[in-house]
Structure 1
Amino acid sequence: MKARALLLASSMLLSASAAAAAPEVVVSIKPIHSLAASIMKGVGEPKLIVEGAASPHTFTMKPSNARAVEGADMVFWMGPGMEAFLKKPLEALASDATVVELDDAEGLTKLPFREAGAFEAHEHDDEGHGHDHEETAEDDPGHDDHAGGPAEDHHHDHGEFDTHLWLDPMNAKAMAAAIEKALAEADPENAEAYAANLVSLNGRIDALDKEIAETIAPVKDKPLVVFHDAYQYFENHYGVRVVGSVTVSPEVMPGAERVQEIRRKVQELDAACVFAEPQFEPKLIQVVTEGTDARSGTLDPEGATLTEGSDLYFDLMRSIATNLKACLSGA
């Protein structure tokens, strides 16, 4: 019994030592924080910058966020196309940290912004006059008016592709692999744990992928309109029929003419549902659906309403699938 107790105590000390030796990791947004937390399970806990119901599209850094970035050994973010607010703080505060831009991960499927049909074009604004504000925000979905600095600091940093990459589970696996590789290189003592956690995470994502495909199979051909064009990867992977968006960039609210145009398109396309997002004004969806047969629902592509942690990615993807099914089936 004494030998077993000593062995247990030794094991606990080794675990505590490994956790203490883990790098200080900071992650920008909830979906990739969830992936990082899964890879670091049993080793350490990554810190999250965009907490609670905040959106990376409109986020402003707080002093506590700046301190976290300054003290980080490693920072994971999507890149300037998603978190424009983080570009300058990383340059100023994270000079000693390893910064991993996950929109550069190997094996990603990347889709260009859409500018046709019922999707708002990038080249003009709602009212047809004044191009500067509309083009800046829509060409750069992560643009934040509070971030400071001229718009061109963020303009077309990495080409015109949609940065909501995690909504394709295969992209999530590619980013998880990049996270595991970076952590193992920075912290070789815990490399085996990171590798084992990646295997476990990939298995969970594969099971989730099958579950979601089965959930939405009965309704995936029904037309729907989303609040902003954030769901291409989900659509592309699962064959969902999104026929338009109210706005391309959620930080730029559409004008009255755009709202009327979308309402007409909802009627013309016989859209079954129009979806809001929890961080933004839901009354806008009521205006768009008024006088149409479309139902309304809510989708949360960034996990604003969900609790951060290793399960968030799975909760996020399931919530999109179940909310799509509920609205499109009329449940």
Structure 2
Amino acid sequence: MRYLAPVSLLLLSTAAWADVPRVATDIAPVHSLVSQVMAGVGTPDLTIPPGASPHSYAMRPSEARALSNADLVVWVGPALTPWLEEPIDSLAGNALHLELEDVAGIRVLTNRAGVAFEAHDHGDDHDDHDDHEGDAHEDHDAHGEDGDHEAHEDHDDHDDHAKDDDHDDHEGHDDHEEHAEHDGEDHADHDGHNHAPGAIDPHLWLDPVNASLWLGAISEALGQLDPENATLYADNAAKGQADLVELQGDIQAQLTPLQGRHFAVFHDAYHYFEARFGVEASAALSLSDGSAPSAARLAEVREVVQSVNAVCVFTEPQFNAGLVDALAEGGGVKSAPLDPLGAELTPGPALYGEVIQGLATSFAECLSE
């Protein structure tokens, strides 16, 4: 199999491809970015539907076929979906693999420990990123060790390869024996090493600066596979980057007045968004893998919520909102949904921006007095 190196892509043949590259993606936000970059050329395939948790999913036959037919696989990486690594290797062994968690210059944070997050440190990752002009695609190397992404000038987006039409028939799971075990509550054990405190927090797409860098990496990969359309990919990426710069500025203005307000989240998935915009969770019901909290953890979170006078507890469409309601009940604490994957959105180029803006809107509404 061939991999795209994290700093510079492997040299590929410059011969024009007869067909548009077939691209498989993991989650809907990544699919959206690829869709932006491929706009006017083609569309990528989506492996994990927006309403499914990437921490535990069993592929349908059509999704496995799309993976096996791919020329390029774009995924966050094993930190988010370790169960997907084996299918990618076995089904898409001859494709190029772009692991976004390895793209140079992205901000990488580690999982937070404990119920309360008093000790987390973002270094100088809170710097202003208004200098990410979305039109420059050349500099992927001028970024700090684990977070200074001020120089993120190359960011592209992706389109869709939605070619399979049997996505609604899930009965074929038995055809993929090696993947069937990935669909249950036991999945926390399978990928627990990735969600342990101090390991990489896999929710990297919730930092729009990371997404901008990914646009550049995606454009470069597609351009080398499909030189005839390389300029279009680069132009699409530049437009996507410019849009993200504008979105980031709007959200920063929206959330800066709310910095210092205390809140809790169901699932510790928002560290990247919080760090980028300076709003920090006080506690999480569930760990980074989204596993169900124990009664003891629920009691600890309730204690934290009360002690810091939290104004909001956030729910998620993928998880049991009743647990969050139990925390908010009777305490004058508001509740609002957060959707990190676009579970209720239509997959496509617009989804990524809608996810990030949706988070900002929920934060603003729930944290306001």
What per-residue deviation string (whole Å, max 9, x for no partner) do you get for residues 62-90 of structure 1? 11111110111111000111122311111
Offset of 1:146 from its aligned partner? Answer: 4.5
Tell me if structure 2 keeps the 8 A contact 1:276–1:298.
Answer: yes
Corresponding residue for residue 258 of structure 1? 297
From 65, 90, 93, give the equivalent of 2:91: 93
Residues 63/41 of structure 1: CA separation in 2 closer, same or farther (3 Å cut): same
Structure 1 residue 48 and structure 2 residue 87: aligned?
Answer: no
Inter-partner Cα distance in structure 1 for 2:227 and 2:39: 15
Inter-partner Cα distance in structure 1 for 2:229 and 2:245: 25
Matching residue's letter, 1:232: H
Residues 45/232 of structure 1: CA separation in 2 closer, same or farther (3 Å cut): same
Corresponding residue for residue 273 of structure 2? 234
Matching residue's letter, 1:53: G
Query: What's the secondary structure of 1:91's corresponding residue?
Result: helix
Counterpart mapping for 1:283-294 below 5 A: 283-294=322-333
Inter-partner Cα distance in structure 2 for 1:207 and 1:213: 10
Structure 1 residue 324 and structure 2 residue 363: aligned?
Answer: yes
Residues 146/92 of structure 1: CA separation in 2 closer, same or farther (3 Å cut): farther
Inter-partner Cα distance in structure 2 for 1:58 and 1:157: 13
Query: Quick check: which has more Rg, 1 or 2?
Result: 1
What per-residue deviation string (whole Å, max 9, x for no partner) do you get for residues 124-144 of structure 1? xxxxxxxxxxxxxxxxxxx94
Query: What's the secondary structure of 2:269's corresponding residue?
Result: coil
Corresponding residue for residue 135 of structure 1? none
Counterpart mapping for 1:213-224 below 5 A: 213-224=252-263
What per-residue deviation string (whole Å, max 9, x for no partner) do you get for residues 89-142 of structure 1? 111110111111110011101011111461599xxxxxxxxxxxxxxxxxxxxx
Offset of 1:235 from its aligned partner? Answer: 1.0
Tell me if structure 1 keeps the 8 A contact 2:22–2:44.
Answer: yes
Query: What's the secondary structure of 1:211's corresponding residue?
Result: helix
What per-residue deviation string (whole Å, max 9, x for no partner) do you get for residues 283-309 of structure 1? 010112233221111101111121111
Identical positions, percent? 41
What per-residue deviation string (whole Å, max 9, x for no partner) do you get for residues 175-228 of structure 1? 111111111111111101111111111110001001111122232321110111
Counterpart mapping for 1:278-317 below 5 A: 278-317=317-356
Inter-partner Cα distance in structure 2 for 1:186 and 1:292: 56
Corresponding residue for residue 23 of structure 1? 21
Corresponding residue for residue 225 of structure 1? 264
Inter-partner Cα distance in structure 2 for 1:152 and 1:30: 22
Residues 150/35 of structure 1: CA separation in 2 closer, same or farther (3 Å cut): closer
From 155, 161, 167, give the equivalent of 2:200: 161
Matching residue's letter, 2:218: I
Residues 157/221 of structure 1: CA separation in 2 closer, same or farther (3 Å cut): closer
Tell me if structure 2 keeps the 8 A contact 1:119–1:246.
Answer: no
Corresponding residue for residue 70 of structure 1? 68
What per-residue deviation string (whole Å, max 9, x for no partner) do you get for residues 236-266 of structure 1? 1110121111111454211111111111110
Offset of 1:25 from its aligned partner? Answer: 0.6
Residues 192/154 of structure 1: CA separation in 2 closer, same or farther (3 Å cut): farther
> What do you get for the CA RMSD once the two structures are aligned?
2.7
Tell me if structure 2 keeps the 8 A contact 1:267–1:293.
Answer: no
Inter-partner Cα distance in structure 1 for 2:93 and 2:32: 25
Offset of 1:155 from its aligned partner? Answer: 3.7
Corresponding residue for residue 35 of structure 2? 37
Inter-partner Cα distance in structure 1 for 2:217 and 2:33: 10
Tell me if structure 1 keeps the 8 A contact 2:80–2:194.
Answer: no
Tell me if structure 2 keeps the 8 A contact 1:276–1:299.
Answer: yes
Tell me if structure 1 keeps the 8 A contact 2:64–2:91.
Answer: yes
Inter-partner Cα distance in structure 1 for 2:192 and 2:313: 31
Residues 149/201 of structure 1: CA separation in 2 closer, same or farther (3 Å cut): closer
Tell me if structure 2 keeps the 8 A contact 1:35–1:310.
Answer: yes
TM-score normalised by structure 2 residue count: 0.74
Matching residue's letter, 1:300: D
Query: What's the secondary structure of 1:217's corresponding residue?
Result: helix
Offset of 1:20 from its aligned partner? Answer: 7.2
* Number of equivalent positions: 292
Query: What's the secondary structure of 2:73's corresponding residue?
Result: strand
From 284, 295, 308, give the equivalent of 1:269: 308
Residues 151/255 of structure 1: CA separation in 2 closer, same or farther (3 Å cut): closer
Structure 2 unaligned spans of 5+: 1-15, 120-180
Residues 147/282 of structure 1: CA separation in 2 closer, same or farther (3 Å cut): closer
Corresponding residue for residue 7 of structure 1? none
Inter-partner Cα distance in structure 2 for 1:104 and 1:289: 39
Corresponding residue for residue 102 of structure 1? 100
From 215, 223, 226, give the equivalent of 1:184: 223
Matching residue's letter, 1:34: S
Inter-partner Cα distance in structure 2 for 1:56 and 1:80: 11
Structure 1 unaligned spans of 5+: 1-17, 122-142
Tell me if structure 2 keeps the 8 A contact 1:19–1:42.
Answer: no
